[in-house]
Every structure is written in structure tokens, then in C-alpha cells.
Amino acid sequence: MNPNWDDMRIFLAVAREESLSSAGRVLKIDPATVGRRIARLETTLDALLFTKSQQGYVLTAAGERLLEHGLQAEEAMRAAAGAMTGSTKSLSGQIRIGAPDGSANYLLPQVCAKISDANPDLDIQILALPRIINLSRREADMAITVSAPTAGKLLVKKISDYKLHMVATQDYLDRKGPIRSVADLSRHRLIGYIPDMIFDRELDYLNDIGVDRVALASNSVSVQLRQVSSGTGVGVAHDFTLPFHPNLQKILTDQVSLTRSFYLVRHQGDQRNERLNRFAEALTRGIRDEVARLEAAAET
């Protein structure tokens, strides 16, 4: 007997969430029911799909093989749904975007709100994680990244460049003294990413500047900027975040000016999904416009 789509849907949820309770929340069914359905699927296929460890439910070799087929089936279902709804004026259903927390906190709320206004039947979810989003396991429908992936069957499109500068509060500079050169940074408290948790080389800003010690560190850019805004040190900020932190001022602008880029990454199998294509176009345009608007506001 072959598994039906409902069985596969439950299997995919457990594979992604690595937990019966988390999968149950996603599917809105009781965790015990999830467990029974997985057990039934294993019986149907005569194969052990998961092993339970301290980290949760981990796919076996058989589970990994089924995952590949399950993702293909899911892509086919999404494509079919897109073909049925893509020609309608308003988008509907659910779309999840994965993003690093800088863009997730400072860009996506405004951009997604505008898309939602234009598509009231559409549910948009923002998955903000300090790591690379796993599209192959369908953690998200698409992801924003700061470098263009070169491996995997993915669609990659550059969205926009953005700028970053060193920042501090005037209160901090009054207390600790002016910063006139990069060499002066050695006498100041630096705030940045936890070095061994930098998941993309493009985020290693302080290393590019020549800083070898981070006194106050977080894997979240939002936490870093809250710390800098409280007058506890010096950090690096995206220019598009500065309108949200009006007490921060750029320093060393003639010596330190970084440029990075955002990319939109999607499953290659979704390239014919008109619904996701339309959303991706709106998202790309919205992010590009919002970066330009906020960077211009940061200059005033």
C-alpha cells in the first residue's frame, strides 16, 4: 500500500519540526495522533522512518529517502494550487519567508504589511533565524540571504545592495572620547556578532575592519543595536536601521563604509508557480524600495 498525501503531510511536518508536539501545533492536531499516524505509515512502508534522540525525532536512511519523494510531492501540490489560484487578482493561502533578523526586524514588517493590504486573504509568515534557512526541507517557501548560494537546485535573484557604517551614541562618545581613526577602536568597547556563530562570511563585519575582539556579542543584530543605542559601546549598523535608532550616529564614515547585498532564494521547482512568482516580485520590489527609503531617511 502506498502512503496517501495526508500521511505524507504529517511525515513532512515531523521531519521539519523534529518533534511530535511541534508538528502537531503546525498541523493543528493532537501530538498523540501525529505519533499514531507516523507509526501507521512505518507499518505501511515496512520501514523505520525516525529514531528518537535527545534532540528529537531524527530521520533514518529510509526516512531521508522518503523525504526526497515527499518534497517532490509537496512541490507538485503547491504548483497545482498555484495554477488554480495564480490567475486571480488577489493572492491567498499561506507563504513563509525565511530571513536573517536584520531584514526580518527592520524591513519585512513594513513590506509584508503592504503586500497583506493588497491581498487580504493571504497569510504571510516571517521566519527570523540567525542561520541559513533550510529550503530543501521546506522550512520556508523562500528566503532572503546575504550571499548567493551556489549549491542545490535553487532560484537566486539579487534584490538590492545595502550600506553599513560604524555607529555610536553621542553620550558614549562624550564619556569615552572621540573616535577619529580605526586605530582608536582598540580603546573602545566593540559590540557585534558572536564570532563562532557567524553563519555567513558576509556578516563578519568587524573582522573586515580589523577588529579582533568583541566585548559584547549577540547572534542577533537587533540585540546588538539595542546595546549600542543604550550607550554601552560601538557597533556596525545597517543604514536602513538608523531611522529606528535616532540616537545613533555614524562615525568614521570616511574610513569605514561597507556594502552588502540581499538575495531572494527559492526552490527551483517553484519557478512555474504563478502565485509564488507574483509574491516574489512584490517582495523584491518592496524590499528594494524600503531599503532606498530608509537609507535616504538616515541621511537627513
pLDDT for 252 equals 96
pLDDT for 16 equals 82
Task: Say which CATH topology domain 5-82 has.
Answer: Arc Repressor Mutant, subunit A (1.10.10)
pLDDT for 69 equals 82
Count CB neighbours of 197 within 10 A.
12
Residue 233 CB partners (closer than 8 Å, separation 6+)? 168, 172, 188, 189, 190, 191, 215, 216, 227
In this prediction, residues 11-19 reach a mean pLDDT of 88
Residue 90 CB partners (closer than 8 Å, separation 6+)? 118, 119, 120, 121, 122
pLDDT for 81 equals 62
Q: Confirm whether 91-160+261-299 and 161-258 share one CATH topology.
A: yes
pLDDT for 72 equals 74
CA 266 vs CA 45, 54, 77: distances in Å: 31, 32, 16
Q: What is the pLDDT of residues 227-266, one digit of tens each?
A: 999 999 999 999 999 999 999 999 999 999 999 999 999 9
Q: Domain coordinates of the chain in residue numbers? A: 5-82, 91-160+261-299, 161-258
CA atoms within 13 A on the CB side of 224: 29
Contact 37, 17 (CB under 8 A): no
Mean pLDDT score across all residues of the chain: 89
Give me the count of residues in the chain: 300
Q: Pairing state of beta strands 50-53 and 56-59?
A: antiparallel
The class (CATH top level) of 91-160+261-299 is alpha beta
Contact 239, 295 (CB under 8 A): yes
CATH 3.40.190.10 fits 161-258, yes or no: yes
Q: Which residue has the higher pLDDT, 109 or 8?
A: 109
Count CB neighbours of 284 within 10 A.
20
Region label for 216, one of left (φ > 0), alpha (ψ between -120 and 50) or beta (otherwise): beta
Q: Pairing state of beta strands 92-99 and 56-59?
A: unpaired
